[in-house]
Structure 1
Amino acid sequence: MGRVLVPGCGTGYDVVAMACPGRYVVGLDISEEAIKKAKQMSSSLPNADDFTFIKADFFSWRPTDLFDLIFDYTFFCAILPEMRSAWAQQIQNFLKPDGELVTLMFPMDDHAGGPPFKVSIEDYEEVLHPIGFKAVSIVDNELAIEARKGREKLGRWKRGVGHSSL
């Protein structure tokens, strides 16, 4: 699987869950407190060599290597809507040409205000299509917690492909 990036990783649960031999996961967050908690929570885990946490601003950070996969677990909805084009540009900058972007899209309803700011498939398409990304699949998140059922979708995006299912 290679290298994985989890932007806006918070306390790092997704980073730890995804990390394994052959899959090195980088958790990135601007919050010093979140990164501190992530490191405290995970430092003694058996897979601790398979991940790292970095305190940095997603929009100015420059990784040393590109990623095979970027997992956006509600980071897109946490940023101001006017920053979404810059988010897409960074995704393009960080991902290998044959890499994949996985997005957990939430909240997909008439939610007002934010963060989290409401999102739609069209919001993702608006910023990803111009840089060559197309959805491989977009499905309801069957593993959503009860309070989010029907308000989350899981999207897989790659450069230069068409929809295989919606």
Structure 2
Amino acid sequence: MRIEAQGLGRRYGRQWIFKNLSHDFRPGTATAVLGPNGAGKSTLLSILAGQLLPTAGAVRYALGGQPLPVAEVPRQLAYCAPYLELPEDFTLLELLAFHTRLKPLRPGISTANLVDIMYLQKARHQPVREFSSGMKQRLKLGLALYAAAPLLLLDEPTTNL
């Protein structure tokens, strides 16, 4: 999936978080966004994910060389961030069954494989609300890393691990 950011800027009130950011994110490449706290890294990822509108500039998406409407971006996106909420009333197996109906896992990965990969075997029948912060982060990472999605966005992926 290709993302083209042109002249992006975001401000809150009168304070610009970042201005005039342009970059062409091409399929098959990895990009790291570095900066101090408050530099706008999470804000930028939210804009690229289509969850937040920029104050200035534009974001264009393409999949397979064809333009992709912003409304379709969530279907093509796997996203992991410590501030993303999980449905905490579900058990792990219930959450995985629900989530994988909306966003399938990569070919060759089953729900049972994913539970093993995340080292959450003993928590299969436990409500997510009872998980430690580290267990929740492993769950978020597993869902993102093993999703059948052409775009992966990771915001502070090692937080709480």
Normalization by structure 1: what TM-score? Answer: 0.29
Larger Rg: 2
Higher strand share: 1
Structure having greater relative contact order (Cα 8 Å, sep ≥ 6): 2
